[in-house]
Amino acid sequence: MRLRFYKYQGTGNDFILIDNRNELLPRSNPELYGAWCDRRFGIGADGLILLQNKEGYDFEMVYFNSDGRESTMCGNGGRCIVQFAHDRGLIEDETRFLAVDGPHDARIEKGIVSLHMQDVQGVESIGADFYLNTGSPHYVQFTNSDVGSIDLTTVAKSIRYNDRFAKEGTNVNLVEAKDHCLEVRTYERGVEDETYSCGTGVTAVALVNHICSENGSYRQAIHTPGGDLAVSLTKTGEGSFSDVWLHGPATFVFEGELVYP
């Protein structure tokens, strides 16, 4: 059986998108989905996303890391599936869909896909670093060094596999502040490597960056190895944020056919 797939990327964070409204693919098949994401023996991607029917919503997003296992929310993946649904004629310029962490609103305007993220209540301080959940767990560390020259994998693995995080894992973000923009590099669990960009990661970084700000609305520019994103937010209290939106491009790359056993 031949199965159509579509490749999308959001600032270099790339995904295999499949319209699974006919429920041909099972919810769990880690060996197969991991093989499709393999960059040498498969299509190659940071993750795989199934678009499925869901009563009361335009669609449901089911996300798998590149290891083939269903995972927590992916911000760039969320933006890509919105563009995919638009390109397939399922939605126009606004949508409401369901993901693993709950409902999300999104809109497309002038080539930018904006995704409403979940509210955040509570940011944990760990020494000079921070830990929070923006749909996925993130560890945030600011540095005064050139973030591009740091051995991210070594630093991140020492955190991701420490006694606290080894079992469930955490994503790790290194951040350098440059003028009004933040330079961010992210190591993602499930991928177990650096990705060019991470939507929930840059969201976490933006919130942490405004943890000491006055209550109110802010927009934070973010630069990743894969391109530019922005996060708008409203700080409502100590470690509390609402009206959080992730903004950036989501681009169709190519499509093809898989032979599905």
The set of catalytic residues is 74, 198
Residues near 79 by beta carbon (within 8 Å), at least 6 away in sequence: 10, 106, 113, 114, 115, 199, 246, 248, 250
Alpha-helix residue ranges (DSSP H) falling in the chain: 30-37, 75-87, 152-160, 199-209
Residues in the chain: 261
DSSP structural state of residue 148 = G
Q: Where are the alpha helices (DSSP H) in 88-198?
A: 152-160
CB 245 within 8 A of CB 226: no
Per DSSP, 23 falls in state -
Strands 47-52 and 13-19 come out as: parallel
CA atoms within 13 A on the CB side of 105: 6
Tokens of 200: 């929930």
Nearest Cα residue to 87 out of 247, 214, 259, 254 = 254
Question: Distance (Å, rounded) from C-alpha 203 to C-alpha 231?
Answer: 6
At 184, phi and psi to the nearest 5?
-130, 135
> Of 258, 161, 175, whose CA–CA distance to 223 is shortest?
175
